[in-house]
């Protein structure tokens, strides 16, 4: 078993914390988050499904960190990268068909930037561990 590098463990914890914050917003307080982000199509059920998925990914990031093995951590980092890239692309694509208020545009842009930063960070440390 190869040990996960210290950097990748920290990255997994950061991913987990960010996932819990977004998970809380979408799963626990979806109505408040709607108001904050001025969401054009409120659908609490889908928001909760989304929040639940994010929370679960956060839990698994922490499980991968706790196990500390590259063999099991690798697939979680790959899942996180694939998922973050998809969220980033879909959020950008949604500008073409979702009518947004200025507040919602700002909120979506901040999500896109956060997602992109996390994707690049995960990719960098994933490649670094793979090479090392």
Partner 1 sequence: MVEASKEVKIVLLINAIVALIYGFMYFIIPDITNQLNDGPYYNPQFYQLFGGTCFTLAIIALLAVKRGEWENLKTVLELGILWLIFVLIINFWSFAYMPYSTTAIASQAFDIIVVIIIIIVDIWVYLRESK
- 5 vs 53 by CB, closer to partner 1: 53
Q: What is the total count of residues that contact partner 1 (CB under 8 A)?
A: 36
Residue 4 half-sphere exposure toward CB, CA atoms < 13 A: 27
CA dihedral 107, 89, 30, 101 (to 10 degrees): 40
99 makes contact with partner 1 (CB under 8 A): no
CA 40 and chain centroid, separation: 22
To 5 degrees, how large is the angle CA 23–CA 40–CA 15?
20
- Binding track, positions 1-40, relative to partner 1; x by CB under 8 A: ----------------------------------------
Q: Tell which one of 71, 113, 117, 124 touches partner 1 (CB under 8 A).
A: 71
Q: Tell which one of 5, 24, 72, 121 touches partner 1 (CB under 8 A).
A: 72
């Amino acid at each position: 078993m190869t040990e996960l590098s210290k950097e990748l463990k920290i990255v997994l914890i950061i991913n987990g914390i960010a996932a819990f914050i977004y998970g809380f917003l979408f799963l626990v307080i979806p109505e408040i988050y709607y108001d904050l982000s001025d969401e054009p199509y409120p659908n609490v059920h889908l928001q909760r499904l989304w929040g639940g998925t994010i929370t679960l990914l956060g839990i698994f990031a922490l499980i991968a960190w706790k196990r500390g093995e590259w063999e099991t951590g690798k697939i979680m980092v790959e899942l996180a990268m694939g998922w973050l890239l998809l969220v980033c692309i879909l959020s950008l694509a949604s500008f073409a068909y979702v009518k947004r208020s200025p507040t919602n545009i700002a909120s979506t842009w901040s999500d896109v930037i956060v997602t992109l930063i996390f994707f690049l960070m995960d990719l960098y440390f994933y490649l670094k561990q793979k090479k090392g």
